[in-house]
A and B are shown apart, each in its own frame.
Chain A
Amino acid sequence: MRTVLIVDDEATIRRVYEELLSNNGYRVLAVENASHAGQVLKQEVIDIMLLDIKMPEVSDEALFDVVREFHHEIRIIVASVYPIDEQRQRLPWADDYYDKAESLKLLLQKIAHFS
C-alpha cells in the first residue's frame, strides 16, 4: 500500500483528499504545515507527497528542498490554486503539478501515475 503525505493548511482540503485517497486504497497522512511535515518525514516512509504552496511563503520551498535532498524516492506533486505554469515556475523540479480547482479524478490519475 502506497503512502501519501498531504501538506495543506486548509483543514477541509485535507479532509477531502484524505477521504478520496483512502477510498482509493492509499494510506494517507495529512499535516497542516512544513514543520509538521518535517516531523512526519523523520518517522514515516512516504511514497508520494501532495504539497500545497503559498506564493509569498518560503517554508514550502524549504520543505521541497529538504525532500529533494534527503528523500529522493518521494514523488512530489505540487497542488495549489495557482495555474500550473506558475507552479512550475516556482518549483521547477517537482514531479507533477495539480491545480486544486481541477477535478479530483485528475488528481487521482496523477497520483496513480506514480504508484
Chain B
Amino acid sequence: MRFTSIRFKTNILYTLILGIILILYSAALYYSVSRILFKDVDDKLRIKANEIAQIIYAYESLETTAAGPFDIIAMLKGESFRQERMIIDDLWRSDVETLNLKQDFIHILIGNGERQLYSGNLTPEIVAKFQKIFSAGTTEKYATFTGLFPSKSRVEASIRPFFSSGKGSIDFHSNAFNGRKVNKSDSLHLRAIRSSVRFRQTVPITIQIATSLESVEHILNKLLLFMSLSILTVLSITSFMGGFFVQRILQPVLSVIRAADQLSHRDLRVRIKQTEKDVEMILLIDSFNRMIERLEKSFSHISEFSSHVAHELKTPLAIVRGELELALEKKRAPEEYQRTIENCLEEVGRMTKIIRDLLLLAKLDYQPGIFKFEEMDLRIFLEDIDQQSRILAADKEIALSFENETSKPICIRADPVHLRRLFLNLINNAIKFTPANGRITIRINPDREKVRVAISDTGIGISAEHQAKIFEKFYKVQEEDRGPDTGSGLGLSIALSIAKAHGGDIQVQSHPQAGSTFSVILPVVYSPSQKK
C-alpha cells in the first residue's frame, strides 16, 4: 500500500478522526471521574476535620465541669475527668474506625502553635509541608502535595487510636517527632485539609489532616490504562476493517484502470462489466464506458473522414497524372499541350480548394477564437449581400429578390466575414442548381428572440433521402441532371459550422423539381418588436 494511495489516506484520516474523538471523550471521562473522586476525598476530609473538632468540643464541655486550670494536654492524657473522658474516648475510637483515621496524618496546633499534637505516623516532612501550604488564615482550606512519607504498612503499624487511654498507650506525641527514616519508594500523594476552631472561644486550635491519594490514584491509573488499551484496540480494528472496506470499495476503480490499460486505438471495444451495486461506482463505470463509446465513434469518424479526404484528393491527382502521361505518349500540337496544362491547373485548383476548405472547417469546429463577433444590423448586411449576388444571378438570367418585412434594425452578434461566407455559399448553391430564368428570394422573418433568413430557389430541389445528408462532409448528391461536380463537398458543412458558432442553425425544405428553401436561424440581440 502506497502512502499516496486513497486507501492509505482514507484509512489514516478516519483513524485519526476516530482517535481524536476517542481521546477527547476519554479525557472528558477521566476528568469527570477524577473530579468526583477528589471531591469525595475532600468531603471525607471535611467530615474528619469536623469530627475531630466535635471531639475537642466534647472535651471542652468536659472541662467546664472541671475545677482545675485548663490544660488540654493534661486533660487528653487523662489526668482528670477520667470517667467522662472514657466516654469521649469511646466516641473517638468509634470515629477512628468509621472515618478510617488510622491511615491519615493528623496534626493539631493548640494556641498559636506552642503545643502540638501529632498522629504517630506524622513525619517532619509532612509538618513542613503543612507549614508551607497552609500559611495563615482561619478558614477551611484544601491542598495536595507529594513527598517522601512513611509507607502504608508502616503507617498502619504505628497508628493506634488517637486519643486512646491507658498508660503509655497514647499514640500521639506532644513535642517531638519519632524521626523515622523513609525510603524513596514511600513517596505518596497526599490531600490535606486545614480547619480552624476555637477552644472555649479563646484558644485557637488548628486541625490539619492529610490523607493518601493512593486509592484514588489507583482507580484513575486503572481507568487510564483501560482507556488507553481500549483506544488502541478500537483504532487497530478500525484501521484494519477500514482498509479492508476501502479496498473493496475501490475494487471497481482497479477494474477501470485495467480496462483503460487495455485500450488502444486498435481496439476500442473494451467495456467494463457492470457488476457493482454502489451508485457512485455504477456511475463511474457507465461514464467510462460512455467515454470509450464516444472515443470509438470519434475514431471511426476520423478514419472514415481520412478515407474521404484521401479519395477526394486522389481523384484530381489521378486526372493530373492521366493527362500528363497521355500528353507524353506522342508528339502533340502546342494547343494540345496548352489544353493539358489548363486541365491540370484546374485539378490543382480543385485540390487546393479541398485543402483550404478542410483547414477552414477544422478551424471553425475546433478554434472558436477565430470568430470576431460584433453587433450589426442584419438588414443592412443582407442588402449588401443581395447587391453582390445579383451580379452572379444575372449571368444565369436568374431573378434575385430581397424581401424585408420590417423597416426597423435587426441587431445580431456576428462575425461579418464568416457570416458573409455562409450566405454567399447558400446563394451560390441556389444559383448553381437553379436553371436559367429561375427565381431566388431572400426573405427576412424576425421573431422575438430569433431571426430567420430564408433563401428560396426554383431549382432542381433535393430528394428527401439526400436532405438529411447534405450537411455531411464530402456528401455529394449523385443524381443525373445536376451538372458537373465542381465543389469540394464541404460548402454546406462549412455553412452549418458557421451558423452553429453563431448559436444558430440551418434548416432545409425541398421538393425535387420544385425548388429548395434553406433557412438560416440566428439569435437576435434585440428585435424591432422589443425596441420601441
Closest chain B CB from A35 CB (angstroms): 8
Query: B311–A82 contact, CB under 8 A?
Result: yes
22 CB-based A-B contacts, threshold 8 Å? A9-B478, A10-B315, A11-B484, A12-B343, A13-B318, A16-B322, A16-B323, A17-B322, A19-B326, A20-B322, A20-B329, A23-B329, A33-B480, A35-B480, A55-B307, A57-B478, A59-B478, A100-B318, A101-B321, A104-B322, A104-B326, A105-B325
CB-CB under 8 A for A81 and B325, given A10-B319, A12-B343, A13-B319: no
> Chain A residue with minimal CB distance to B318?
A100
A100→B312 CA distance, assembly (Å): 12
A83→B440 CA distance, assembly (Å): 43
Query: A103–B325 contact, CB under 8 A?
Result: yes
Contact-residue size bin, chain B (C-beta under 8 Å from the other chain): 20 to 34
Chain A-chain B contacts (Cβ-Cβ < 8 Å), number = 54
A55→B474 CA distance, assembly (Å): 12
What chain B residues lie within 8 Å of A10 (beta carbons)?
Answer: 315, 319
What chain A residues lie within 8 Å of B330 (beta carbons)?
Answer: 23
Query: A81–B314 contact, CB under 8 A?
Result: yes
In the complex, whether A110 has a CB less than 8 A from a CB of chain B is no
Interface string of B327-367 (1 = CB under 8 A from A): 00110000000000001000100000000000000000000
Query: B315–A20 contact, CB under 8 A?
Result: no
In the complex, whether A27 has a CB less than 8 A from a CB of chain B is no
A9→B347 CA distance, assembly (Å): 15
> Chain A residue with minimal CB distance to B479?
A33
Q: What are the 10 tightest A-B residue pairs by CB atom distance, in nearest-first order?
A: A100-B318, A81-B314, A16-B322, A104-B325, A12-B319, A101-B318, A101-B314, A81-B311, A81-B315, A16-B326
Residue among A9, A11, A20, A81 making CB contact with B318, cutoff 8 Å: A81
A33→B485 CA distance, assembly (Å): 14
> Chain B residue with minimal CB distance to A52?
B315
Query: A20–B319 contact, CB under 8 A?
Result: no
> Chain B residue with minimal CB distance to A80?
B311
A113→B437 CA distance, assembly (Å): 52
A50→B366 CA distance, assembly (Å): 41
